[in-house]
Each structure stands twice: as C-alpha cells, then as structure tokens.
Amino acid sequence: MDKSKDSEFKEIAELKWLPFIGKNYFNSDKKIMIIGESHYQDDNQKSIDWNNKLTFTRDIHSIIALDKKYDRTKVFYYLNRALFRNDSKIDTKILWEKLAFYNFIQSSMHTRKSRPNESDYLKGWSNYFKLLSILKPDFCLFIGVQASDYLKKAIEKTEFKIKEFKKSEKINGTFPREVIIEQSNGKEIKLLFIKHTSNFFSWDDWNIFIKNHYESELNWIKAGVIKPRNTVGNNVYKK
C-alpha cells in the first residue's frame, strides 16, 4: 500500500477514512479508481470505535477485497465477476497493487436499509474533487449510480466541468451513467456508474456492457491478474 499522500488526505476536512492506494498506483501508465458507496456500523462500542479509525476503509478493503472474506457482503465478489467473469482465479494482491479505492459516503449507515441523503452525496462530491487533485485518475468506476444524480449540482463551484453525461440502455433494472469531466488544466476523466454490486446484481450483463464500452480500461485492469493454470510436470490441469 502507498501511504505517501496520507498527510494530504488528512488535510481534507470531511474525509473521515483514508483511501486505499495500491503501491504501484502512482507509477501506473493508467490510473484507475474504484469508488464504493457506503460503510455500515453496528450498534455496539467495538463497531463504533472501529468505524472511527482513519484506517477503517483500508481495514475493510483488506478483509473483503484482498482476503476475499465475503461473509458480510459480496460487493467485491460481484465486482470481480463483472470485471473478470470469475472470482477464484484472480490474484487480488496484483490487482489492487495498481488500483485505488475509497468509499464515496464518509459517514456510516446504521442498517442495510439506511440510505445516504442529499447532504451526504454533496459532501461526497466535495471530497471527490479534492481527491482528484491528489490522485489524478484517468478512469473512475463507481459502485452504485445514485451519486451521479447530484453531480451537476456539486460540480458548479469547482474547477471541473461536465463534458458528457449520458444514461445508456437499462441493464439489470439500472441505467449505466457514462460521464466525462474536464479539469481546468484540460485533463479529462472518465466516470462510469454501475448498479451496486450487492444483491440482485447480474454480473454477466454488466460484464458484457463493460467489455463492449470500456475495453481498454478493462484489459488494463485484467493484465497480469489472472492466476496461471496449475502445472505438474508436463500436465496442465484446467480449473
């Protein structure tokens, strides 16, 4: 993990949790961020204390995304299937060495049915635009589409502008949002919002969409990440 920008992250007043930054992210020829939506907090002191740690997002990411412990949520399991069509053959260490991740909403939800409000999303965009100046991504994949509903309002007083905003054909009950924003220095950033990768997520349909519309980004994410087939002597065993 790269912690070289932690001092800059800590200067963002409303950023409660430090982002996870892969150790090769800043040296990558293409910079890609994955953006989750919400964290959840149980009603006990242990959970409250953990949620209040600066490293909470990194802790959760390590447990679920890196170690694949999906007992509480399958968000990363279905994300992996949407990207790779397979979860078991992915070397998550290599994958996340080149990516960045953080949660858009910087306050914990108290139940699985709780939803962020408009203020939460606007604060999320404020943090996002500040992070862009530090992380300088080329492509951002948002897990969930609701944040996009507040982008036009949130971007008004920033150095960014929307160059393109479109809803594509509905997939699995949700319209993908495809967005291009441009910074005042001319840098363009692609944003893709997909259905939240939790219950009722059709990873097969979303994989087809991503493969057809973001082939370059997908191929870059996949490069070097699939584990080689097991070999013993001259025999090759296919999983």
pLDDT in tens, 149-181: 999 999 999 999 999 999 999 999 999 999 999
Indicate whether 234 pLDDT > 70. no
Q: At which residue do the structure tokens 């053959």 appear? A: 89
**Element holding 21 (H helix, E strand):** strand 20-21
Percentage with pLDDT > 90 across the chain: 74
Cβ atoms of residues 213 and 205 within 8 Å: no
Indicate whether 232 pLDDT > 50. no
Q: What is the pLDDT of residue 46?
A: 76
Q: What is the pLDDT of residue 109?
A: 59
Indicate whether 79 pLDDT > 90. yes
Beta-strand pair 20-21/160-167: unpaired
pTM as predicted: 0.90
Mean pLDDT of 222-231: 79
Indicate whether 5 pLDDT > 60. yes
For residues 206 and 230, the model is more confident at 206
CA-based nearest residue to 193, from 97, 134, 124, 133 = 124
Kindly tell me the burial class for residue 45, based on how many C-beta atoms sit within 10 Å of its own C-beta (0-12, 13-18, 19 or more).
exposed
Mean pLDDT of 68-76: 88
Mean pLDDT of 123-130: 96
In the chain, what are the domains? 6-237 (3.40.470.10)
